């Protein structure tokens, strides 16, 4: 039952969602053209021959806003609801592209099927991005219903700030329960024994849609700061550009729940993976047709609870033996393929498979060496279950490492300038934390090492705790002459502000930054002479701080003796 596979994406329904809802037949609708399946499949053959990414949907360009289409209803508590629906009579799925999306804080938008059984989690103001677009995951139905609930005061704003610009009717892959994206039977589920050693890397791989009609695979990739910047590596020929990057929708953890026996009808049929975990939007960072790579930065990081990892990489010219390919053939559940061999061949890795193969939709997926580090991404090839032909992966990590930031990887994957030759996979769930002293803020926080260092902190070691850490060891008194002030900061911040650092663990209470350098010079003319004696005699017996040269609280003979001993210029 496909509806059960999307339960994770069905959030608590708004109290207004079903209130006095109009019968569906009264909701205004836009019907797009029926799909000519024969024509689309014929075109797909040509697309594959020309090295184009797998197409799964037919897009229709529209301009639909809450001001021009749909119907508004008044709800309780000053709320308003706008509803509209789209239909393609013979589609297997629907997804939508909003060329303009700017939701006020009071608003939320849901996309659902005609029965409201399957709903995408609500889109809110948190989904407003700099690129101003929003592209949705698929709804496994030939109909999609759009519902926006907003404060009455924001109705006019929503009418101008939300525009549906693309209706995409699916005809393959991402299907409904009767024929949802399957792949060839020889392929191997990642939950099979072949994947047991790869569970740090498997969660990093995702299947994605682009412009609402094309699909490829790709992987989250680590950088030397190890700060979980959401860099996503895929293939150049998949079409992620500065014009299309905002339309990407990446699906995570789409995999079968059990190991289907390779070669069986079960393995070649429909899996039970969910499309409920997704990330929408990105900004393309670097791309190059040579080695066929694209690196894009997702508009938001995947939800931490999904357990997404960041694959390591290597610039080596060898795959160091047998590694693996992890991918989504035909948009189906995630699979793992094990090579018989892989070797460098010009700008590509030449790969022949032992267990499993690849298929359209696998493009852009990572090839790993025997140390579980990415060496490239799938470009092309002819492998299918019935044959033993080779695939080719772009050698992007080694051959497209250096150069301009827009066409190479080092600016993004090595922000620390370390020039390391390789980096291992980063798994946030297993990374240890420790006490992090942040001198600039004068606080201690429990962080992972990379996060601590990137924030200017001093990491105290794995599994240390702030409760038993004295961060005052990293700050001290700072005398700032320009403002005649003393503050407790780190040495770096003190000197950067023109101050004189008094040492770690010193205090302004114990240090007089601006005590006179010549205490016997009572009148401040830089000379100890008769005028100072006269000033001292005039204060005799008192506690005048200026004349009390030795600071014992009284002006007396002891002060006079110090003054005589210091006679002359300071």
Residue 193: other Cβ atoms inside 10 A: 8
305: annotated active-site residue: no
Residue 238 burial by Cβ neighbours in a 10 Å radius (0-12, 13-18, 19+): buried
Beta strands 476-480; 485-489: pairing state: antiparallel
Of 237, 254, 327, 328, the catalytic one is 237
Token pair listed for 68: 């021009």
Taking the CB of residue 205, how many other CB atoms lie within 10 A of it? 30
* 46 labelled catalytic: no
3-state helix, strand, coil in the chain (%, to 5): 20, 30, 50
446 is catalytic: no
Taking CA atoms, 237 is separated from 53, 194, 234, 247, in Å, by: 7, 29, 9, 16
Token representation of residue 92: 């297997």
Tokens of 557: 């003979």
Query: Which residues are within 8 A (CB) of 341 and not within 5 positions of it... i.e. 6 or more apart?
Result: 322, 351, 352
Q: How far apart are CA 409 and CA 395, in angstroms?
A: 12
Look at residues 295, 316, 310, 299 and name the one whose alpha carbon lies nearest to residue 405: 295
Measured CA to CA, the distance from residue 421 to residue 524 in angstroms comes to 63
With beta carbons less than 8 A apart as the criterion, state whether 17 and 110 touch.
yes
Selection from 194, 335, 203, 217 nearest residue 268 by Cα: 335
- Helix intervals (H) in 344-487: 396-399, 410-413, 449-454
Question: How many CB atoms neighbour CB 539 within 10 A?
Answer: 18
Bridge partners of 165, per DSSP, are: none
- Token pair belonging to 85: 């629906």
Tell me how crowded residue 252 is: count the other CB atoms within 10 A of its CB: 24
Catalytic residue among 166, 274, 282, 363: 363
- Joined tokens for residue 355: 């267990």
Give me the numbers of helices (H) and strands (E) for the chain, helices first please: 10, 33
Q: Which of 127, 189, 245, 292 is catalytic?
A: 292
Q: Which residues are catalytic?
A: 237, 292, 363
């Amino acid at each position: 039952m496909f509806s059960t596979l999307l339960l994770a994406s069905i959030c608590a329904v708004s109290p207004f969602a079903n209130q006095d809802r109009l019968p569906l037949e009264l909701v205004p609708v836009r019907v797009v053209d029926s799909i000519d399946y024969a024509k689309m499949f014929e075109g797909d053959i040509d697309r594959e021959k020309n090295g184009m990414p797998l197409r799964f949907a037919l897009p229709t360009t529209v301009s639909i806003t809450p001001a021009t289409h749909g119907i508004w209803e008044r709800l309780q508590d000053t709320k308003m609801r706008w509803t509209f629906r789209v239909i393609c009579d013979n589609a297997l799925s629907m997804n939508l592209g909003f060329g303009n999306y700017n939701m006020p804080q009071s608003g939320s938008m849901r996309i659902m099927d005609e029965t409201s059984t399957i709903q995408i989690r609500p889109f809110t103001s948190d989904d407003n991005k700099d690129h101003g677009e929003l592209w949705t995951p698929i709804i496994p139905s030939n109909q999609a219903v759009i519902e926006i609930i907003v404060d009455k005061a924001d109705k006019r704003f929503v009418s101008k700030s939300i525009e549906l610009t693309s209706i995409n009717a699916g005809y393959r892959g991402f299907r409904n329960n009767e024929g949802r994206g399957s792949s060839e039977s020889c392929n191997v589920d990642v939950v099979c024994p072949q994947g047991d050693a790869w569970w740090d890397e498997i969660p990093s791989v995702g299947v994605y849609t682009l412009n609402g009609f094309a699909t490829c695979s790709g992987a989250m990739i680590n950088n030397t700061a190890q700060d979980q910047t959401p860099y996503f590596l895929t293939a150049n020929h998949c079409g992620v550009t500065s014009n299309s990057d905002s339309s990407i929708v990446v699906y995570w953890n789409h995999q079968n729940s059990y190991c289907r026996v390779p070669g069986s009808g079960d393995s070649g049929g429909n899996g039970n993976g969910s499309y409920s975990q997704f990330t929408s939007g990105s900004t393309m960072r670097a791309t190059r047709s040579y080695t066929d790579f694209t690196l894009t930065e997702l508009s938001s990081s995947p939800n931490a609870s999904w357990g997404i990892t960041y694959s390591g990489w290597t610039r080596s010219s060898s795959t160091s033996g047998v590694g693996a390919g992890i991918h989504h053939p035909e948009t189906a559940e995630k699979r793992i393929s094990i090579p018989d061999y892989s070797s460098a061949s010009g700008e590509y890795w030449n790969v022949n498979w032992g267990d499993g193969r690849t298929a359209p939709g696998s493009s852009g997926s990572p090839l790993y060496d025997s140390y579980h580090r990415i060496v490239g991404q799938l470009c092309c090839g002819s492998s299918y279950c019935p044959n033993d032909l080779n695939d080719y992966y772009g050698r992007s990590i080694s051959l497209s490492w250096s150069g301009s930031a827009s066409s190479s990887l080092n600016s993004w994957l090595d922000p620390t300038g370390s020039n390391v030759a390789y980096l291992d996979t980063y798994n946030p769930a297993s990374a240890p934390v420790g006490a992090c002293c942040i001198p600039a803020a004068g606080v201690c926080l429990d962080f992972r090492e990379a996060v601590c260092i990137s924030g200017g902190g001093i990491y105290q070691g794995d599994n240390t705790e702030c409760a038993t850490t004295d961060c005052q060891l990293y700050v001290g008194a700072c005398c700032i002459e320009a403002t005649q002030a003393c503050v407790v900061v780190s040495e770096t911040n003190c000197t950067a502000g023109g101050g004189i650092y008094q040492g770690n663990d010193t205090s302004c209470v114990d240090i007089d930054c601006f005590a006179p350098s010549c205490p016997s010079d009572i009148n401040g003319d830089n000379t100890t002479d008769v005028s100072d004696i006269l000033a001292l005699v005039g204060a005799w017996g008192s506690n005048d701080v200026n004349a009390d040269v030795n600071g014992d609280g009284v002006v007396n003979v002891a002060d006079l003796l110090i003054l005589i001993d210091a006679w002359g210029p300071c």
